[in-house]
Structure 1
Amino acid sequence: MTLMAGLLSARMREVTREPRAIARRSRFVEGLATGRLPLAAYAEMAAQHWFIYESLELAAAAMTDDPIARRFVHPELFRVPALEADLRFLYGARWQSRISALAATTTYCTRIRSAAYDRATGYVAHHCTRYLGDLSGGQWLGRQLVEAYGFRREGYRFFVFEGVDPPLFRDRYRDRLNAVPWTRTEQDAFLDEVAAAYRLNIDLLAELEDRWR
């Protein structure tokens, strides 16, 4: 095994190779990227993201005293304020009364609460799955949405990370991940939870696709 292959970030990339490909082929994502779906479909995705990121960012607050997890608490990445701004634009001032969690979202949030509030392996797994995705493929989707739906500023703040250089942040994040002093057993637990997070996201995309055929 080469040194690179033994790095945790490389192991994570291998574990997520197939689910990343499945997510990229999502017909729901394709429909948003091309503007084939109505704006209401995008609004519903944003609403589901609000439930997920609220759970994840509450986990960040719960894990700030953990010596490993606190290395991955990055307030500059927090998405709840941006999502709430988007939802006010998309649904109006009473947006909270107009959204509800889908079944897949409820399952996803339950998993975050059970895995990420008291274990660093679980917290970091869900953290890197969401935010690294937002800073890579999510940036592509954000650009596509601007073109497809004509957003100017309001409505897609979720995709805008003020003061963050996505490629640089991703590189530093992977370095930080590779430096975590986990045992092999802890690394395996982390990778198992990353795989679970990807499955949960794929399940959510599938439910959204069913609703917006």
Structure 2
Amino acid sequence: MTTTTAPPPTIAAEPLGAPRASLGDTTVDELDPAVPPAPVPFSERLRTRTRSGHGTSSRAGFMSDLMRGTCTRDDLVRLLAQYWHVYRALEQAAVGAAAHPVAGAFVTDRLTRLPSLEADLAHLAGPGWRDRLDAVPATVEYVDRLRGPASSSPTAFVAHHYTRYLGDLSGGQHIGRALRQRYGLLDEATTFFTFDGVPDPTTFKDEYRARLDSLPWGEADEEAMVTEVLHAYDLNARLLAELDAERGLGAAPGPATEGPSTAVATGASS
């Protein structure tokens, strides 16, 4: 008996350009190469361009030790003392920026940190806390940057505002909890890390990014902001490294060389 093998079923090839198969009742058409892709929002491009630095400070020696509970109360006071200088300069710059048609959109009392820093320092160091405000060299340079370019350039101001405050909102609550658990601190000693005026940080950060995306800036302005954010990351990293050097745990780095490879983020991202 001769057995006849049936030929395999054939599948008709779709002509090029024909619609693809439908998903349910929705037909999925091939992408039209004539239609350009949607532009990437500036906030996303900013995050991507500075991604190498995101979160690095939280993994640096000083912050890592602080979060593990191996620092001392004096170490925490030293850190908050540096931030006192930084935020005093930044919030002084914000007073002038508030009237600017672009930079002013980011200024809000809901983010103000200086009173919280002063309250925490008074709680941790007592009434003589102002005698313990010695600044490390990187902090001095940081303050000079905030009183210089960040006080005269809207792009530089927004860059530093974004770096510090969105970083604080992203990681501050976690750091505050860790400090209370590791060192037995009361809430009154960690108010810098909480934002009573921002009950929903996620929504606030989304709104902040939307403002970034609506900025009337050209490519040069956007590049200037990216560069300044990277510089802010580097200043913060050097500040922490110098605090480590004070404790004899590492050598403080010299001034940053040019280029994004030296940038280290505050965790800020945002």
TM-score category, normalised to shorter length: over 0.9
Q: Which residue of 2 aligns with 1:204?
A: 239
Mapped partners of 1:3, 1:195: distance in 2? 26
The alignment partner of 2:164 has SS state of helix
Unaligned runs of 5+ in 1: none
Query: Residues 199 and 2 of structure 1: is their aligned pair in 2 closer, same or farther, counting only changes over 3 Å?
Result: farther
Q: Which residue of 2 aligns with 1:179?
A: 214
Would you identify which runs of 4 or more consecutive aligned residues in structure 1 move more than 3 Å?
Answer: 1-4
CA contact (8 A) 1:16 1:198 kept: no
Bigger relative CO (Cα 8 Å, ≥ 6 apart): 1
The match for 1:40 among 51, 56, 74 is 74
How many residues are treated as equivalent by the alignment?
A: 212
**How far is 1:91 from its partner?**
1.5
Q: Which residue of 2 aligns with 1:170?
A: 205
Q: Which residue of 2 aligns with 1:117?
A: 151
Deviations 1:55-112 (A, max 9, x none): 0000000111110011010111000000000111112112112221111100111111
CA contact (8 A) 1:15 1:195 kept: no
TM-score between both structures, scaled by the size of structure 2: 0.75
**For residues 1-213 of structure 1, what are the structure 2 equivalents within 5 Å?**
2-3=37-38, 6-164=40-198, 165-212=200-247, 213=249
Which moves more between the two structures, 126-135 or 163-172?
Answer: 163-172
Unaligned runs of 5+ in 2: 1-35, 250-270
Amino acid corresponding to residue 191 of structure 1 in structure 2: V
**How far is 1:21 from its partner?**
4.1
Amino acid corresponding to residue 188 of structure 1 in structure 2: E
The alignment partner of 1:65 has SS state of coil
Q: Give the number of the structure whose alpha-carbon radius of gyration is greater.
A: 2
Amino acid corresponding to residue 123 of structure 2 in structure 1: F
**How far is 1:2 from its partner?**
5.0
Mapped partners of 1:41, 1:162: distance in 2? 25
Which moves more between the two structures, 167-176 or 10-19?
Answer: 10-19
Which moves more between the two structures, 137-146 or 58-67?
Answer: 137-146
Mapped partners of 2:140, 2:181: distance in 1? 31
- Percent sequence identity over matched residues? 42
Amino acid corresponding to residue 173 of structure 1 in structure 2: Y
